């Protein structure tokens, strides 16, 4: 194995001391980068880009060539999983992801099963290729959508304003939704374990829509399945701990419950006060976040002020990975990302016992 | 003055004992009712409906004729206020509200001023007319958008996915945004006081978008101005306390701060656990909420289960007004609303020391 030259990110996730606060950005390889848009144009479509090992590797590394980020994240999409289940993922131009065959009725849902992982081999090939291309520069993060978030798309057939179909099923036919969620949880566990075996050095579960659930329903229909996944993951690989990050957007009220999943770190959106979150979860988990992605439209001076405010809020010591509170906007000026990355690296040193 | 025949809602807001848990529904007069759609068609447009005293009175009373609701709410729109400031409100069919002249640059924002309240006379006329038509049946709620929520529309020029314009201003030119928010706060104070003088017996401030702010920014740019408004409101009128409800959608993390505004009650969305919210705010305020509006698509049996769960969560004693956690969907079956209203009234009696 190649030696990891920068393990700051992995150390912070495990609450071990670091020289500075590491950072990566959700959706860091994406449309805000002109070089990404070029590669995507060459690939033909978003899905073809995900399925092309060479090009997926290329776009994963693009943000690292521009910015001093402390981790790479596999370029892929959470909806590769229901696609492998046979739902027929496609991207209508300007409309976001859709499924040709959403799983809405009892027959369709009862027919769901954990797909053969060979159908997702292109993802594991991308992981292996990216690890090789990284050559130990920074760690590689693998990821999956949460069972509930995947179910939202599988039932609604695409994005939704109110998640009316899945929520109606949750209230009227909880048994049916639980069946789908169990299939999803088993699938995600296998999927993330294959990513880990292929070389992912940390994994994140994206629970993008769990935060739209009422209190109680979140615990039953989203969190319980993420807990199952965490319990089923390979946690040591190649002699190193593989940390797990759980990110529920809008989950700030439920941090104690999220920490109970057994994850190593909780991803936070920007509504959460880092100081308060740290008090609430204590020594149990690391915290990742939580810069408002829209603040990247502000001028560099204002970006630095916000970075300083967040670092101050977390305070001294280990256990903070800097990130956005949600994915970066496609309209973000890349120069502002540079300002963010430099501010985090420079301003955080004093919180780790180093001169600024 | 006509005697109020049902003051359950007002008593609950003031944490006084009641026989059952009162309820009303955000957007209870609206498109899910066929009689509303008929009246709106007669009015010509949504704005003409708001400005027609007789028709605004008619639609306000429609849900009360169907359901045993414990309060009426003025039929109007939060954007009447920036319209009175000269921004030119219009509704593009199927697109939601828009402004012809959004206030985006320094000159436009510095030119903003508290409008002459005569421009909003149609609202106060509607309040007086509705009070008369209610004839003491139930209390009438007046309302306004919060200064920050109004500013979102005034700057963006309509709805937005990410509030990029207003947030960029917040980070880069906080002085300018504060100027707009101060004008809005002064306007809303005057506007709500005129509604109270015209007959509104309680008022609610709708902070629909404050929940999209980062921690700290919410306190500075949304909450501080709502606190100013609460301090400036007429709190006694015609020998009766006029309760104030503050509702920040997505504000569940900040309940202690919201209680500090001096409001009588806090509106909660469905992500908040009522039991936990009650522990956090103690005896300081009443709580209003927090049924998931999408749960109204479930069958009546499931609706009753959810009602029972919420009532159980709040527990025994005074201080709970049942409501949705957000406005009712236009696609809601009216029969399901009936199931909700009956369930709340019947199932809540035992929590108030009465046989079921």
pLDDT at A159: 87
Give me the residues paired with residue A202 across strands.
A141
Under 8 Å between Cβ of B224 and B161: no
Residue whose structure tokens are 């859709």: A98
Cβ contact, residue pair A215, B273, below 8 Å? yes
Report DSSP state, residue B316.
S
**Residues of B that are catalytic:** 27, 31, 40, 77, 153
Cβ contact, residue pair A298, B171, below 8 Å? yes
Cβ contact, residue pair A297, B167, below 8 Å? yes
A-interface mutation test, from B171, B172, B279, most A Cβ less than 10 A away: B171
In residues, how long is chain A? 356
* Mean confidence (pLDDT) of chain B: 96
Residue B273 DSSP SS3:
coil
Q: Is residue B356 pLDDT above 80, yes or no?
A: no
**B270: which chain A residues are within 8 Å (Cβ-Cβ)?**
214-215
* Residue B300 C-alpha, separation from nearest chain A C-alpha, in angstroms: 9
Q: What secondary structure does DSSP assign to A149-193, as a single string?
A: HHHHHHHHSB--SS-HHHHHHHHH-HHHHHHHHHHHHHHHHHHHH
The two tokens of residue A127 are 């992981």
A93-143 pLDDT tens trace: 777 899 999 999 999 999 999 999 999 999 999 999 999 999 999 999 999
A170-217 pLDDT tens trace: 999 999 999 999 999 999 999 999 999 999 999 999 999 999 999 999
ipTM: 0.94
Confidence bin at A356 (pLDDT 50/70/90): low
Cβ contact, residue pair A214, B270, below 8 Å? yes
Q: Is residue A1 pLDDT above 70, yes or no?
A: no
Q: Is residue B33 pLDDT above 90, yes or no?
A: yes
Q: Is residue B222 pLDDT above 90, yes or no?
A: yes
The reported pTM is: 0.96
**Contacts with A, B 304-333, CB within 8 Å:** 305-306, 309, 325, 329, 331
Inform me whether the C-beta atom of residue A190 falls under 8 Å from chain B C-beta atoms.
Answer: no
* A:B CB pairs within 8 Å: 101
**Long-range contacts made by residues A170-179, C-beta under 8 angstroms, separation at least 24?**
A170/A217, A170/A221, A171/B295, A171/B297, A171/B298, A171/B299, A171/B302, A171/B303, A171/B305, A171/B306, A172/B298, A172/B299, A172/B302, A173/A106, A174/A221, A176/A106, A176/A109, A177/A151, A177/A221, A178/A221, A179/A109, A179/A110, A179/A112
Cβ contact, residue pair A309, B216, below 8 Å? yes
Q: What secondary structure does DSSP assign to B71-100, as a single string?
A: -EE----TTHHHHHTTS-EEEETTTEEEES
d(CA B162, CA B179): 22
A219-263 pLDDT tens trace: 999 999 999 999 999 999 999 999 999 999 999 999 999 999 999
């Amino acid at each position: 194995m190649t030696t990891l030259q920068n393990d700051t990110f992995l150390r912070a996730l495990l609450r071990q001391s670091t020289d500075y606060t590491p950072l990566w950005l959700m959706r860091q390889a994406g449309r805000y980068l002109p070089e990404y848009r070029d590669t995507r144009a060459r690939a033909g479509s978003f899905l073809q880009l995900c399925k092309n090992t060479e090009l997926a590797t290329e776009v994963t590394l693009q943000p690292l060539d521009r910015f001093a980020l402390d981790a790479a994240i596999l370029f892929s999409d959470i909806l590769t999983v229901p696609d492998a289940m046979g739902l027929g993922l496609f991207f209508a131009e300007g409309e976001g992801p859709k499924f040709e065959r959403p799983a809405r009725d009892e027959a369709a849902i009862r027919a769901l099963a954990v797909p053969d992982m060979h159908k997702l081999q292109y993802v594991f090939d991308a992981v292996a290729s990216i690890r090789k291309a990284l050559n130990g520069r920074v760690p590689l993060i693998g990821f999956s959508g949460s069972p509930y978030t995947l179910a939202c798309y599988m039932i609604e057939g695409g994005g939704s304003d109110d998640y009316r179909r899945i929520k109606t099923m949750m209230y009227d036919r909880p048994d049916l939704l639980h069946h789908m969620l169990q299939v999803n949880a088993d699938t995600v566990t296998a999927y993330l374990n294959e990513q880990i075996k292929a070389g992912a050095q940390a994994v994140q579960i994206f629970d993008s829509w769990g935060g739209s659930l009422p209190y109680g329903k979140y615990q039953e229909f989203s969190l319980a399945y993420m807990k199952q996944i965490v319990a089923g993951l390979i946690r040591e690989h190649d002699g190193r701990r593989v940390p797990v990050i759980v990110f529920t957007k809008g989950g700030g009220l439920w941090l104690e419950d999220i920490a109970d999943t057994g994850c190593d770190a909780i991803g936070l959106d920007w509504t959460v006060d880092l100081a308060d979150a740290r008090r609430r979860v204590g020594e149990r988990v690391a915290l990742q976040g939580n810069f408002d992605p829209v603040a990247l439209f502000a001028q560099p001076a204002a970006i630095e002020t916000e970075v300083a405010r967040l670092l101050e809020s977390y305070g001294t010591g280990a256990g903070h990975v800097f990130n956005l509170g949600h994915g970066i906007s496609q309209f973000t000026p890349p120069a502002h990302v540079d300002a963010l990355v430099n501010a985090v690296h420079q301003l955080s040193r004093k919180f780790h016992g180093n001169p600024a």
